[in-house]
Amino acid sequence: MQKLRQVLVKIEQQISSGRRPLIVFDLDSTLFNVSPRTAAIVADFIQSIESNSDLHEHAQILKKAQFLRKDWGLKESLLRLRAEFEDQSKAPFPPEFLEGLRHFWRARFFSNDYLVHDQPYEGAVEFAHRLEKVGCEIFYLTGRDVPSMGSGTEKIMVHWGFPRAVLNKTLFLKPDANRADETFKVEWFNSVQHKQDEVWVFENEPWNIQMLRAKYDYFNYVFFNSTHSRRVPEPLDVFVIEDYLLDDL
């Protein structure tokens, strides 16, 4: 039986026994593929420098970059691009160019402006509705912050049709960008009155899972295998999924 099916079966068994599971989804790289966001930002960066004769050659090379589901930020895509050059002495890019690209990307990636490019993973919207239909309580808990990404996040959740996505009611972002993601998530669970007997956490970042498990080892954890920071190894003793596809959805 596929892992996602096992998750659903266990949740339905909990409901049949009179419990109401609390489902908590992360967003970036858990419900949404954010690689298209990075691709759009880099495309705008290229457009901004193409008319500069000193940077035109770099812009043409950067156009070849591909941004994949497993990429974490810009690093992997730029390394693949560098590997295409047999003569490493001519490999892109000079340090000042890379610094400008990273600054351009960071200023836009963590903002409302480019969230429209995020794409839900296959079956994500349908699976969330399936959980709501069978009687789960659904929340969204993300390391995005309210000042920079709050309005765009709520808008894109509604656009894609995720159920019950209301900012500060069922959709929770950090109050500011300086707070560490794992600290914010642990504090959020500390503040929630758990009337439910079962809590399910869907998360792509092993570090966040590790920090949550240190206090809430009785939660049910689902690791979404997309990309992550590589701070700690991927958890192998939890449910591991790579999409939200079920045969009957």
CB 101 within 8 Å of CB 42: yes
Q: pTM of the full predicted structure? A: 0.94
Distances (CA, A) of 204 to 27, 72, 115, 167, 209: 9, 12, 18, 21, 8
In tens, the pLDDT along 82-115 reads: 887 756 655 678 899 999 999 999 999 999 999 9
CB 228 within 8 Å of CB 234: yes
Whether residue 249 is predicted with pLDDT greater than 60 in this model: the reply is no
Q: Which one, of 198, 139, 137, 194, lies nearest residue 14 by Cα?
A: 198
Paired tokens of 153: 């996040």
CB 180 within 8 Å of CB 187: no
Averaged pLDDT for residues 208-215: 97
pLDDT bracket for residue 129 (50, 70, 90): very high
Averaged pLDDT for residues 2-31: 95
